[in-house]
A and B are shown apart, each in its own frame.
Chain A
Amino acid sequence: MPHLLGLQGMPPDRLRSLLARARDLIPHAERARPPLDTRRGASVVNLFFEDSTRTRLSFTLAARRLGADVADLTAAGSSASKGETLLDTALTVRALGASGIVLRHAMSGAAIAAARALDALPGPPCAILNAGDGRHEHPTQGILDALTIAEAHARLPDFNLGGLRIAILGDVANSRVARSDIAALTALGASVVCVGPPGLCPPSLRSLGCDTSHDLDAVLPDVDAVQSLRIQMERSPALASVRDYAAGYQLDLARSARMKPGAVVLHPGPMNRGVEITGDVADGPRSRILRQVTLGVAVRMACLAECLAR
């Protein structure tokens, strides 16, 4: 039973197979084709210890379009408030009959710890799908970002992103999306540069296999895509103020105009309009932000189909 815990170190074959499966499911995600029922009888439980809009809904709709049942548990209404540990909750949910657990948690490594707890004790097959663990990984986001960029640059046949340069902009140090993006994009052959102020984008990030820069205006003319991250005030003590950040790093119309023809803008959401990105860029012709959301359903269908036992 495979879990989906992260993209760092994922075998390239598995990544490409998930991408190909997602590509083929795009018509179902777009509702151009009817839902499937290939996972009828499977039960997916969304276990969200942190808030989410798109990821939770995306997983829910993806599961339903595979014919699976979905149930939701959030930290506020769960026994977590009575002190039950994440691991006991995961074991309990499996015992209730879940065949997949979509887990979001504020701690890095939470999904791996949950998967270890399930694997350590006998029980029916039950996959952990990491929907974001602290600052570590958000693998379905990384896959959907790679799929969006591949589609925008006509690389869907083989997902070879060689020759593309992609900027990840903002609070990279505290971003699980960035870690999954860097792993996926570099595995597919793209070169990645992380851009932001030193406190949010320290040179130590280079150990992830990317470049770093503190000069957005120098980077923008060379890139084929910009992934603008959300500024996370709750996780970014290094940030003096939003205005201080925006002066150097806001993706606005003037900066967007200096990008290459064909270069696209992404954002994993939720956006702070007027902070890391202005509304005219978010809604402008380069924006693939809503396309990311749609493709996200296809990616989650692919991941659930892979992980849920038949």
Chain B
Amino acid sequence: MPPLLLRGGRVIDPASSLDRTADVAVDERGRIASVAPGLSPIPGAAVIDCAGLIVCPGLIDPHVHLREPGQEHKETIATGAAAAAAGGFTTVCCMPNTSPALDSAAMIEAVRARADAALRDASEAPESPGSPYAGRLAARVFAVGAVSKGRKGEELAEIALMARAGAVGFSDDGDCVMSAGLMSRALAAVAPTGRAVMQHCQDHTMTGASAMHAGPTAVRLGLVGWPSAAEEIIIERDLRLNRAIGSRYHLQHLSAAGAVDIVRRARREGQPVTAEASPHHLLLTDEACDNYNTAAKMNPPLRTGEDVAALIEGVRDGTVTILASDHAPHTPDEKALPFEAAPFGIVGLETALALYIEALITPGVIGWPRLLEMLTINPARLCGLDRCGIGSLAPGNPADITVIDPEVRWTIGEADLAGKCRNSPFLGRAARGRAVMTFIGGEPLLRAPGLDRRR
């Protein structure tokens, strides 16, 4: 592999609090050699001018659905990794709600093998000139293991064996761990692995046939509502359970203002809890479901303007420290069904960065270093990836790098979606900022459209 020099970009490495104009040198082993201004290229290095661009650790999304095995018509590990790369992500963590579920060491190893193969194939593939993306699209994929066998919420899955096989967290995502007894056992089993229990917070006894947020739009459409309390009481319960155990506990896709308050209080008390927010919950409200718009049907549901404001405040004050797309591909046929029958979820990997910029950077809620902290080192620590050098630009780390054009204007279109599905409520939206290059282990992957014309 030829060495690499990314010259003159705004280098932001939140793990080391670095934010300055500098060069990033990558050695022939694909590792970060040094980060400093005015570096001379290693002999034979490819030099890329990054003036006006942001150079940062490769973005990490700790919550995506890649549908393999079982629903390969919606996405595969390879196509999901392509979607990740198109959005500037170099690492994603896939949820275990596949068919069968990722609930054993063998399944975790199978995902790892598929992920390794996808990355290798992409690196070796020729560039495809017909694609809107000039580069080859791939990303690292890690698996989150199920908390319970078959995700049934009954028996604990083999947590320790899955952790040894490389599971980066544990979740029954898609379903809540409803049983307090099982959650208590899960927290105790996960604690010694150093990973986190990732909870999908939804009291199913309160949300039976629900399809959207319990509010005026649901009343008008005659849809059963999913009240915010169903999210909040699970968080309260789990935090109470975890007081005696002290496991790492992570809240997935926070959606309700009251939930933000609970997490804020718990973090002030020093409890080992983290929380994530998704782009759609930072930008859209339940009104997006009007006229039975299944593109806006997701779980947890889009809520009110007050909930959006509370989530944004939670990001601003450090209650929410991680961002996650909850990338959830579904086919057009499924999303064309009547609203109550259509599946929950939207694709998100390709659009997430621009939407975070719109929700958080453009209005001045936080600056770039904070945003990138929530997209690199924080999710890396959540999933224990920092221990293998992922999430920061420290010398010696694998050169996983994302280069972002923070100002480029574009309109989100179907051609920008590199995965298998197109179920996004953001098609047609004007966007600012996007990833223009990614590197994994120094290997160039994404090269965004227009980059050559621009330089």
Contact = CB atoms under 8 A, between A and B. Distances in A.
| A86, A87, A112, A135 — most chain B CB neighbours (10 Å) | A135
A86 B338 contact: yes
A208 B219 contact: yes
Contacts of B214: 204
B338 A179 contact: no
A110 B338 contact: yes
B337 A137 contact: no
A208 to B, nearest CB: 6
B223 A204 contact: no
A110 B337 CA distance: 8
Given A113-B337, A134-B340, A207 B220 contact: yes
Nearest to B218: A204
Contact of A85 (B291, B292, B337, B340): B337
A116 interface: yes
Interface in B191-227: 208, 211, 214-216, 219-224
B140 to A, nearest CB: 38
A20 interface: no
A110 B340 CA distance: 9
A122 B214 CA distance: 36
- A: interface residue count bin: 20 to 34
A75 interface: no
A300 interface: no
B142 interface: no
A85 B333 CA distance: 10
B220 A8 contact: yes
B216 A109 contact: no
Contacts of B292: 108-109, 112-113
B229 interface: no
Given A87-B337, A112-B292, A113-B292, A208 B222 contact: no
A108 B290 CA distance: 12
Contact of A179 (B208, B211, B222): B222
B212 to A, nearest CB: 10
A116 B332 CA distance: 13
A207 B336 contact: no
B186 to A, nearest CB: 30
Contacts of B224: 135
B216 A204 contact: yes
A182 to B, nearest CB: 10
Interface string A180-217: 00000000000000000000000011011000000000
Contact of A204 (B219, B222, B333): B219
Contacts of A204: 214-216, 219
Contact of B219 (A87, A207, A237): A207
A279 to B, nearest CB: 30
Contacts of A117: 336
A105 interface: yes
Which of A110, A113, A179, A205 has the largest number of chain B CB atoms within 10 A? A113
Contacts of B211: 108
A177 to B, nearest CB: 11
Interface in B331-346: 333, 336-341
B220 A208 contact: yes
Contact of A109 (B208, B215, B219, B338): B338
A136 interface: yes
A65 to B, nearest CB: 31
Contacts of A109: 221-223, 292, 338-340
A94 interface: no
Contacts of B291: 112
Contact of B340 (A8, A108, A116, A208): A108
Contacts of B339: 107-109, 113
Contacts of A110: 338
Interface string B215-259: 110011111100000000000000000000000000000000000
Interface string B325-359: 00000000100111111000000000000000000
B176 to A, nearest CB: 20
Contacts of B215: 204
A134 B222 contact: yes
A137 B338 contact: no
A136 B219 CA distance: 9
B75 to A, nearest CB: 22
- Top 9 A-B pairs ranked by shortest CB distance? A135-B222, A136-B222, A207-B216, A109-B292, A108-B222, A109-B339, A113-B338, A107-B338, A110-B338
18 contacts: A85-B337, A86-B337, A86-B338, A108-B339, A108-B340, A109-B221, A109-B222, A109-B223, A109-B292, A133-B222, A133-B338, A136-B221, A136-B222, A136-B223, A179-B222, A204-B215, A207-B216, A207-B219
Interface of A: 8, 85-87, 105, 107-110, 112-113, 116-117, 133-137, 176, 179, 204-205, 207-208, 237
Interface of B: 208, 211, 214-216, 219-224, 291-292, 333, 336-341
Given A85-B333, A135-B222, A137-B222, 17 more contacts: A86-B338, A105-B338, A107-B338, A108-B222, A108-B223, A109-B222, A109-B223, A110-B338, A113-B336, A113-B338, A116-B336, A179-B220, A204-B215, A204-B216, A207-B216, A207-B219, A208-B219
